[in-house]
A and B are shown apart, each in its own frame.
Chain A
C-alpha cells in the first residue's frame, strides 16, 4: 500500500530534488500516527488503496504564456526554484504551525501525491481571467492526492479556481490534498476551492500560506460534499500589512460530517485578517467549526475578526463551534462572534404570507445568506451549478 515500494515507483521519472523530498516525507509518514479526529470519530480510518490519477485537470487557456505552470509529478528542469519556495514553509514560527489538518495526512500527501501543480505568477503580472483547475474523480480515478504550490510574486494579481467534483453517486472516492501558497510583496491572490464529492467519499485538504509585506490572500472555500470532510486552512501573516481573508460556505445534509479548521497567525505589524463562515446543517449532519486568531508577539496594531453564522434546519443536526482568540500583544484588535439558530420565524412567516411554500421560503433565506460569498466565484457556469446544488438539496 503506502510503502517504500510505492515511493520508489512514484519517483521513477521524476526530477531528483522532488524525488528526495518524497522520500523524506515518506520517512516522516512512517513514524507518525494518524489523528482520530475524535469529534467526528474517524477511529481506525484506513486509507484506500493507492491508484494513479490519469485525467487532465488543467484547462488549457492562453494565460499559460503569462504564468509558469508545471505539473509537480513531471520531470522538471526548474525544480530548484520549487524547492526554494517549499523550504520557506520549514521555518515554523508558530508552535505546531504549518502542520495542515494532521501531520500524518500532510506527510502522506507529500510522499504519495499523484497530481499537483506549481503555478507562479511572475513579478508585475496581472491576470484578468481566472486559472481553472478541475479535479474530477471517477471509476478509473478514484484516488486524488494533489500537491499544489501557488506563488504570487511581487505586484502580481491572480485568481485561481479549483473545483473538486464527481458525477458518479455510487463511487467511494478519496481525496487527500495539500496546497501551499506564497504571496509576495503587494501581490493579490484569490483562491476559490469548491468541494462537491458524493456522500460515499472522504475528503481531506490542507492549505497553508505565507503572506509577505502588503500582500493579500483571499480564500473562498465552498464545502458542499463528502461523507467525511476534514479541511484546514492556516495562514501566516508574516510582515507589515499582510492581509488574509477567508469567506467560507458550507452545506451539510444527510449523514455528512465536516471538520473545518481556519487559522490566522499574525506576526507582522499592521497585519489584518478576516474569517467569515456561513453554513447550513440539515438532517443528521454534523459539523465542527474551528477558527483561531493568533496574535503573536510583535504583531502590534494588527486586526483580526472572525464571524460564524450557522442555520440549523433540523432537530437532529450536531453543530460544534470552537472559535479561539490567542493574544500575546496588547495593541491588537481581535474579535469573534458566533450566532447559531433556526431560520427566523417571523421572516419565514412573512415570506409565506406572500404565497411562498415553507420550503421555498427556507431556500430563499439560505440563498440570501450564501449569495454574497457565491458572488465571489468568478466563473458563471460554476457559480450557477453550485447555487443549483444547494437549491435542490435544501428542498429534498
Chain B
C-alpha cells in the first residue's frame, strides 16, 4: 500500500487581512426600488441606466434561485448589503490614496506590479475604483481604460450600445441581480489596429462584512486590436456569507485578439456566482486563462460565442478545491459559424474533502460546418475524502465537424513516482514534481506577476507539506 499525500492548508493571513470599516454611505439591507434609486442617484447616472436597473430588479424578483449545481441555500439575499462605498474619492496620484487602503494594496503587491510592467491599475476597493492610472502612450493611441461609473457618463453611447447585451438580466437570477445593483468594474476600449502590448490589470477585493460585489467589466476590441486583461480577486474572511455576482462582457471584433486572465482567490466564505461571456467575430480570438482557488462555492462557466467565421476560442483553467470548498467551474463554447475552432484544457485538484466539479458545454449549431473542437479535462485527487466530478455536455447540430473529448480522473501514478525515485529523487519531491507538472500548462500561460501568485499558492499547498 502506498502512503497518502498529506497536503495542509496554506497560511492565509496575508490575503485575509482586513481593515477597519469606514464608509460614507451604506445602502439599506434588502433590495427595493428605493435602494436602486439611491444607488443610481449616488452615482449620478444617466436616466436610462436607472431604468435599466429597475427593470433588472423586476426580473430578479421573479426569477428562481437555480437548483442545480451548488447548494446556495445558505445565502440570505435579504441580508446582503449590495452597495458599499469606500471612504476615498477617485485618485490619480498614489500619494493621495488613504494610508489604510494603501496598506491592504501594498500587502497585495499592487504598486510594485504597476512599477514593473503594468499599463494601468484599476483596483476596486469594495465597490468602487479608488486608484486608476494608464500610461500616456495608450491614451494617445485612443485606448480607454477607466472605471465603469465614469465610462457610463463619459462614453455613454459606447457603453449603452454594449452594456448587458451579451449577458442580459433575463439569463438567470444572478445576472438580473447584477443588472440591478452593479457597481464598479472596468471599461476597456481598444481602437482598430491598436496593439496594447502590456497587460491591463485590475485587482480588486471585497472588504465590508456582508457586502456583495457586483462589478461590471466591459471590454471592446475593435477590428484587429490586441489586448490582454488581467483580473485578480482576493478578499478577507468574515463570518457573514459573501456574494460575488460580477459580470464580464467581452466584444472581440473582426481579427481582434483578447486574452482574459483571472486568478480567483476569494476567501473561503464567498459565494462566487460570476458570469463571463465573450462574443467573437470573424477571425477573432478569445483566450481565457482561469485559476479558481478560493471561495466557499463557485459557479463559473465562461462562455465563448464564436459568431464569425474562423473565430477561435481557447480556455485553459485550473481549479483547486480544498476543505469546505465546492468549486463548480467549466468552459462553454458555442460554435455558431463555419470553420470556428476551440480548445478547452481544464485541470482540477481536490484535497481535504474539497469538491471539484467540471461542468462544460460544447455546442455546434447547424451552420458551424468545418468546426473543430477539443476538450480535455483531467482531475487529480489527493485523498479519498475529496470528490471530483466531470460533466462535459456536447450538443452537435451539424455533420461536418470534428469534435474530440477526453477526461480522466485518478491519483498520482505510482509508476511515475517509482520511476522518479529510481532516479534518486525522494518520494515527497517526486509527488510535488508531478503535481506541479500537472498544473504547468496553466501556470505557463500566466504573466509573471500572476504566475508568481499561482506558484506561491501551489507550492505552499504542496511542497511545504508533503513529507
Query: Which residues from chain A sit less than 8 Å from chain B, CB to CB?
Result: 295, 297, 300, 312-342
Contact = CB atoms under 8 A, between A and B. Distances in A.
A333 B405 contact: no
B390 A325 contact: yes
Q: Chain B at the A interface: mostly helix, strand, loop or mixed?
A: strand
Interface in B97-147: none
A332 B398 CA distance: 36
A319 B400 contact: no
A327 B408 contact: no
B408 A335 contact: yes
A306 B390 CA distance: 13
Contact of B404 (A322, A324, A328, A339): A339
Contacts of B390: 323-326, 336
Contacts of A332: 409-411
B379 interface: yes
A323 B409 CA distance: 13
B397 interface: yes
Interface in B351-380: 366, 369, 379
Contacts of A323: 390-392, 405, 407
B403 interface: yes
B17 interface: no
B379 to A, nearest CB: 7
B387 interface: yes
A279 B147 CA distance: 52
A89 B205 CA distance: 52
Interface residues of B, number: 34
19 contacts: A295-B409, A312-B398, A315-B369, A317-B397, A318-B395, A318-B397, A319-B397, A320-B394, A322-B394, A324-B390, A325-B379, A325-B409, A327-B387, A332-B411, A335-B408, A337-B407, A340-B403, A341-B402, A341-B403
Nearest to B408: A335
A-B pairs with lowest CB-CB distance, top 3: A330-B381, A312-B399, A338-B405
Nearest to A312: B399
A319 B403 CA distance: 11
A337 B401 contact: no
Contact of B409 (A312, A317, A327): A327
Contacts of B409: 295, 325, 327, 332-335
A326 B394 contact: no
A318 B394 CA distance: 10
B384 interface: yes
Contacts of B379: 325, 327
Nearest to A345: B400
B402 A327 contact: no
B405 A321 contact: yes
A320 B395 contact: yes
B201 interface: no
B461 to A, nearest CB: 16
Nearest to A324: B391
Contacts of B448: none
Contact of B394 (A297, A314, A321, A331): A321
A315 B366 contact: yes
A315 B401 CA distance: 10
Contacts of B398: 312, 315, 317
Nearest to B397: A318
A335 B407 contact: yes
A304 to B, nearest CB: 9
Nearest to B383: A330
A337 B388 contact: no
Given A327-B387, A328-B387, A329-B381, A340 B396 contact: yes
A327 B395 CA distance: 24
B389 A330 contact: no
A320 B384 contact: no
B439 interface: no
A250 to B, nearest CB: 15
A326 B4 CA distance: 21
Given A319-B397, A322-B391, A328-B387, 6 more contacts: A315-B366, A317-B399, A325-B409, A332-B409, A335-B407, A337-B407
A339 B362 CA distance: 13
A317 B365 CA distance: 11
Given A312-B396, A312-B399, A339 B381 contact: no
Contacts of A297: 384
B389 A326 contact: yes
Nearest to A322: B393
Nearest to B357: A326
A322 B405 CA distance: 11
B401 A341 contact: yes
Given A312-B396, A324-B390, A340 B401 contact: yes
B241 interface: no
Contacts of A335: 406-409
B407 A325 contact: yes
A313 B398 CA distance: 9
Contacts of B393: 320-322
B40 interface: no
A342 B389 contact: no
Contacts of B386: 330
A314 B366 CA distance: 10
